[in-house]
């Protein structure tokens, strides 16, 4: 004759199984919460000190960058180095630092900038600007001016449609957020800079 399990023992076994499942679910929820909290901390650190996603608004950097292009900006680049001529940078607008712009560094501190009939000269040497199509060139004159220590002269690639250092002056280094490293959207036009 087989000995059966009493109903009380069956209920107790079910309670133990349910308790074990609840402990497993609780442990998994805690592990998920720790993972999400860690990811949030890492993401905050990366965005604050490392990289930032940005969107181009307007045509001032055309044809290099178009309106609504999505960018990755390297915020570490200028913590360990200095902006260089030709770098495409994201910066706070000097007149209203709540806004940010994307422009190209044309001259560094100590350089002399002069523009004659739209042709840009740095230290009396013409700036190579094959990235600026003829239709986007301006015909204005500017300078000469010497860029003070701790400042940079920036311009948009669409020279006749850009608000830049020609209009609002030099940009202090502390206003340069980072170097544009990548255009990731639209995907067919993705490119490293």
- Write the pLDDT tens digit of every residue in 90-102: 999 999 999 999 9
Active site residue 34: no
Query: Which pTM was predicted?
Result: 0.75
Backbone φ and ψ for 80, nearest 5 degrees, come out as -110, -10
**What confidence score (pLDDT) does residue 34 get?**
75
Q: For 4-26, how does the pLDDT look when each residue is reduced to its tens digit (9 = 90+)?
A: 788 888 888 889 989 889 888 88
Q: Residues with Cβ < 8 Å from 175, sequence gap 6 or more? A: 91, 92, 94, 97
Pick from 193, 168, 175: nearest CA to 183: 193
Q: For 50-92, how does the pLDDT look when each residue is reduced to its tens digit (9 = 90+)?
A: 788 899 999 999 999 999 999 999 999 998 899 999 999 999 9
Q: Which of 6, 34, 38, 60 is catalytic?
A: 60
Mean pLDDT score, 37-48: 66
* CA distances, 3 to each of 6, 101, 111, 134 (Å): 9, 82, 97, 97
Q: Which of 38, 99, 103, 163 is catalytic?
A: 103
Active site residue 100: no
């Amino acid at each position: 004759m087989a000995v059966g399990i009493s109903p009380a023992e069956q209920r107790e076994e079910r309670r133990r199984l349910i308790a074990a499942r609840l402990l497993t679910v609780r442990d998994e929820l805690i592990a998920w919460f720790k993972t999400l909290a860690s990811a949030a901390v890492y993401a905050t650190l990366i965005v604050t000190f490392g990289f930032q996603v940005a969107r181009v608004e307007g045509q001032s950097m055309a044809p290099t960058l178009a309106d609504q292009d999505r960018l990755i900006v390297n915020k570490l680049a200028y913590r360990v180095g200095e902006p260089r001529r030709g770098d495409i940078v994201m910066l706070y607008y000097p007149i209203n630092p709540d806004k940010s712009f994307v422009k190209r560094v044309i001259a560094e501190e100590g350089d002399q900038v002069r523009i004659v009939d739209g042709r840009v000269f740095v230290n009396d040497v013409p700036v190579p600007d094959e990235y600026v199509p003829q239709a986007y060139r301006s015909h204005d004159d500017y300078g000469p001016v010497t860029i003070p220590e701790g400042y940079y002269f920036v311009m948009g690639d669409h020279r006749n449609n850009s608000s830049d250092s020609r209009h609002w002056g030099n940009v202090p280094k502390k206003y340069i957020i980072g170097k544009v490293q990548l255009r990731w959207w639209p995907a067919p036009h993705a490119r490293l800079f």
